[in-house]
Amino acid sequence: MLTWLDVLALFTAAAATAVGVKKGSAFLLVFPLALGLFALALGQLPPVAWPAAALVAGLFVAQVAGRIDLYLGSSWEAFLGGVAGFLWGALLAVTLWTGLPAEYSLATGAYRYPSPRLPLVVQEAVAKSPFALPLFDLIQREPLLRRLILEAPPAERPTPAVEAETLPR
């Protein structure tokens, strides 16, 4: 059974595919630019903001693609743009399914997804989704994806000597 989260993610993927078909092969040419913008956002924003960052990057790139004058024939235009739109839509959908906050549990040594601090309606949507938990588990199993998405860079920690100096005696 699909949840409202699944419907939102699938609608977003379909809309991105439609934009790609409309923009044509120029969308495929600027697709790497969108990926680069999104990669920059990954390092600067929390995971909750990634869907919005991906959407903004996609809309920006769609505007850039509209200004490129390239025509390969109507069937090729639609196909190449549709491929780029589908790939971008899939990225948007994955960020919607996996971009909610997760919480690391010391007891189990694993991430709990979604965080129990989220509203119950969001937790239920993720728990009942046929896509969200399997995708999150895939990200958790793959070392590169896990490092990129789940594990934030460690904050600078004071050295033990500094900690000892700051403790009251």
Examine the pLDDT at 151 and tell me if it is beyond 70.
no
Q: Would you call 97 helix, strand, or coil by DSSP?
A: helix
**Secondary structure percentages of the chain, helix, strand, coil, to 5:** 70, 5, 25
Q: Indicate the pTM of the whole model.
A: 0.71
Examine the pLDDT at 169 and tell me if it is beyond 50.
no
Instruction: Give the whole-angstrom CA distance, residue 42 versus residue 38.
Output: 6
Examine the pLDDT at 164 and tell me if it is beyond 80.
no
Examine the pLDDT at 126 and tell me if it is beyond 80.
yes
pLDDT at residue 24, rounded to an integer: 78
Examine the pLDDT at 127 and tell me if it is beyond 90.
yes
pLDDT at residue 166, rounded to an integer: 45
CB contact at 8 A, 92 and 16: yes
Please state the rounded mean pLDDT for residues 4-25. Answer: 89
Instruction: Give the whole-angstrom CA distance, residue 105 versus residue 148.
Output: 19
pLDDT at residue 9, rounded to an integer: 94
Structure tokens at 67: 């200004």
In the 8-state DSSP scheme, what is residue 49? G
Instruction: Give the whole-angstrom CA distance, residue 44 versus residue 56.
Output: 15
Would you kindly state where each structural domain of the chain is located, as residue ranges?
4-98, 103-150
Examine the pLDDT at 115 and tell me if it is beyond 70.
yes
State pLDDT tens for residues 45-76. 887 787 788 778 777 777 777 776 666 667 78
Structure tokens at 12: 């977003």
